[in-house]
Amino acid sequence: MKTAEDARRRALRLRAQIEDANYRYYVLDEPSIADAEYDRLLRELEELERAHPELVAPDSPTQRVGARPASEFAEVRHEIPMLSLANAFRDEEVADFVRRIEDTLGVKDPAFSTEPKVDGLAISLRYEDGVFVRGATRGDGTTGEDVTANLRTVRAVPLHLRGHDWPRVLEVRGEVYMPKAAFAAYNAQALKRGEKTLANPRNGAAGSLRQLDPQVTARRPLAFFAYAVGVIDGGTLPPTHSQTLARLREWGFPVSGEIGLAHGLDGLLAYYRRIGARRDALPYEIDGVVYKLDRYDGQRAMGFVARAPRWALAHKFPAQEEMTTVEAIEVQIGRTGAATPVARLAPVPVAGVTVTNATLHNADQVARLDVRVGDTVIVRRAGDVIPEVVRVVPERRPRGTHPWQMPKHCPVCRSELVREEGEAVWRCSGGLYCPAQRKESIRHFASRRALDIEGLGERIVDDLVELGGVESVADLYRLRVDDLLAMKRRAEERDGTVPETVKKGRIASKWAENLIAAIARSKDTTLERFLYALGIPEVGEATAKALARHFGSLDALLAAGEAELTEVPDIGPVVAGCILAFFRERHNRAVIEALRAAGVRWPEHAPRRASAGPLAGKTVVLTGTLGAFTRDEAKERLEALGAKVAGSVSKKTSFVVAGSEAGSKLDKARELGVEIWDEARLQTFLEQHGG
């Protein structure tokens, strides 16, 4: 049993460890302990404070969460106003800003502290004797809202300052923001829970910090950067802003790693362009950069104009969000058959590019946003990311609009559009025929685990579809060497390269002869490989093998209904629906018949129902090296007799086949008392049962 003094010392030790972990994670970006260890330390401290309530202190890490919800936020009047910055959008405006400073101060190329303009919510943090006592929003610059309880939940905000040289009263100003990755992860989880998503990282940060219940804020992934100081009492700061930022970092405040020091106009514009080029790679949203005259005596000499300092400037990037109207909603079919709704927009400049199209992702997103033709919408574009519609402006919706519905048929090939149960994506079911999916279907058909057409690589597939007139996988079997060489010449003309077909003569035709031979060899295959090669949604190698074994012939499979399909082990209604939809498309059936007519063939056999095999219901594990056959051959023969071959040993394992050099699986089988067969017993069993 801990004494009160033991508990006090342990609590101090735990707080120090947790605070150090926060500092290393949020400020130094050098995590010192694993998340699980951090959680363990925090839980121990919570239990200790619960047992000894007298140890609870305002700056304890446990006090980041748990305050009661507020009915409203109290007002906080800023002792020093939180002023906004003047904005510049053109280089000429930055040149005027620098010229005014040079003329006023009589200096050439003055030093500026530079930093990214993080897109979040401006806040102030007040510390007394090194302890966080109050936090407030910027508000109107003169009066903000007291959000102390919510700011305590933000782990990047220090509750107690590091070191001992800080002023008795210190007000730190900065930006609460939501990192891009955290924003995306939060929205993904919200979608799974059926909850409302956040519009964008900035709104997410602002809305999170203004929650009346701090426990809601605590569940939001917020971060913080310090960028300035306000009130100071009982202490001094260095003579420059850049040195002050370094001091804040020593005291435990996160500071952007992109801050810098630049001289004169050329230095500022170079920084603007460097950060602009890295904008999309940064882990947080920014909408520009900020320039601040570095020396405080220079700042005082420049003074203020209206509500903005004359010594600082925000140089804004082109807007990433703009407003426009939806002229149409169409569906695009991707290379894998995914049907993506796309908004056709009235042209609008976004982030320096004229945008006329924006993705709506999927039908569920259209329904969630309730985007309709005629709507006014907010469009967002970040770097090379495809523009997207992020929200509708409902008050601008014209009368007579109707909710959008996914069409029933593919706009490219008119095959049925289908959606698997529980999935957000609709897909075109004409996989073998649809022009939009042509390249992908050929690549898959020729892949090693499908029909294994050696030499039919990605570039050749592209050229075959674009220049060779190949419209489906069946067309591969009508190709001749002359067709491939003609295609090669057209590709060389298109690319402007020296024609190898002319330059190398006979050697240049060798690749074509080899490819034609590989296509011919692929005609002899197995039913399971053929089924896998068709690219039926949800039908991978294991399912193709189960279908081939169960039905024995393609015709039997083509004639099967849902009830018969669901008799196959591990095939439920969803997979059965995908198979039926695929074979229901006449285009797919036509390609299959063309493949058979071209000579693609496989051995067929009478249907083998797993329930009739001597190993039906048995789970078998193979381990070690077998001498008479490979592991795959053994697996295939066991499965032919109804067994399920698993990769690990458990209590449900029926028996383990142990070859030479068997390892941990054999040990596990002995530990669980699972029956063990050697290879001789397996061979005898297979011979007796014709496996």
As annotated, the active-site residues are: 117
Residue 11 is which amino acid? A
State whether residue 30 is helix, strand or coil.
Answer: coil
State whether residue 580 is helix, strand or coil.
Answer: helix
State whether residue 416 is helix, strand or coil.
Answer: strand
Structure tokens belonging to residue 440: 């992908």
Buried (b) or exposed (e) across 269-288, using 16+ Cβ within 10 A? Answer: bebbeebbeebeebebbbbb
Task: State the pairing for strand pair 121-128/131-137.
Answer: antiparallel
Residue 520 is which amino acid? A
Task: State the pairing for strand pair 426-428/338-350.
Answer: antiparallel
One-character DSSP codes across 100-135 = HHHHHHT-SS-EEEEEEEE-SEEEEEEEETTEEEEE
567 Cβ contact list (under 8 Å, min separation 6) = 550, 609
> In 86-222, where do the E strands start and end?
87-88, 111-118, 121-128, 131-137, 143-145, 169-177
Instruction: List the 223-233 sheet strands across, edge first.
Output: 131-137, 121-128, 169-177, 223-233
| Long-range CB contacts (within 8 A, 24+) of 668-674 | 669/621, 674/649
CB 420 within 8 A of CB 577: yes
| Torsion of the alpha carbons at 653, 656, 662 and 666, rounded to the nearest 10 | 50
| Torsion of the alpha carbons at 24, 30, 34 and 38, rounded to the nearest 10 | 10
Q: Rounded to an integer, what distance in angstroms lies between the CA atom of residue 124 and that of residue 115? A: 18
Structure tokens belonging to residue 60: 């304890």
Task: State the pairing for strand pair 304-305/308-309.
Answer: antiparallel
CB 653 within 8 A of CB 659: no
CB 238 within 8 A of CB 244: yes
Residue 355 is which amino acid? V
Q: Rounded to an integer, what distance in angstroms lies between the CA atom of residue 90 and that of residue 315? A: 8
Task: State the pairing for strand pair 644-646/619-623.
Answer: parallel
Q: Rounded to an integer, what distance in angstroms lies between the CA atom of residue 254 and that of residue 158? A: 9
652 burial (CB, 10 Å; 0-12 / 13-18 / 19+) is exposed
Q: Rounded to an integer, what distance in angstroms lies between the CA atom of residue 540 and that of residue 579? A: 12
Q: Rounded to an integer, what distance in angstroms lies between the CA atom of residue 570 and that of residue 565? A: 10
Residues 266, 268, 272, CA angle at the centre, nearest 5°? 115
